[in-house]
Amino acid sequence: MGSEKSSKAYRRLVKALTSGNIWLYVLKLLSEKPMYGYEIIHSIKNRFKINVNTVTAYVVLYKLASEKLIEAMERNGKKYYEITARGRSELKNGIDFLEHILDIVKP
């Protein structure tokens, strides 16, 4: 990927596609299995190599739930999150959009 001497433009792109769009990574994880908050944060850091703070992650979860893209449920004293059909559709839309952009900009 980029080097230490990456341009500001490249760094802005990386930020926009990673920490600027955590919702996409959350939906991807939840499309695989229901997860609780800490597990989502841990998975984003380990699997996608994106550092996301706890507050940001819970704000994203709240917004996704308010848009009915995920739903929360209690299980074993923990709040688990699960993707909804609408969430699966938005995940697909997001992936399709990214693929479309790649098709446009590839040489």
Whether 33 is in a domain gets the answer yes
Residues 6+ apart with CB under 8 A from 71: 65, 81, 82, 84
Q: In which domain, by residue range, is 42 found?
A: 25-105
Whether 54 is in a domain gets the answer yes
CATH code, 84: 1.10.10.10
Whether 7 is in a domain gets the answer no
Whether 10 is in a domain gets the answer no
Q: pLDDT tens for residues 4-43?
A: 678 999 999 999 999 889 999 999 999 999 999 999 999 9
Whether 8 is in a domain gets the answer no
Whether 56 is in a domain gets the answer yes
Q: pLDDT tens for residues 44-77?
A: 999 999 999 999 999 999 999 999 999 999 998 9
When divided into structural domains, the chain yields a total of 1
Distance CA 57, CA 19 (A): 10
**CA atoms in the 13 A half-sphere facing the CB of 28:** 13
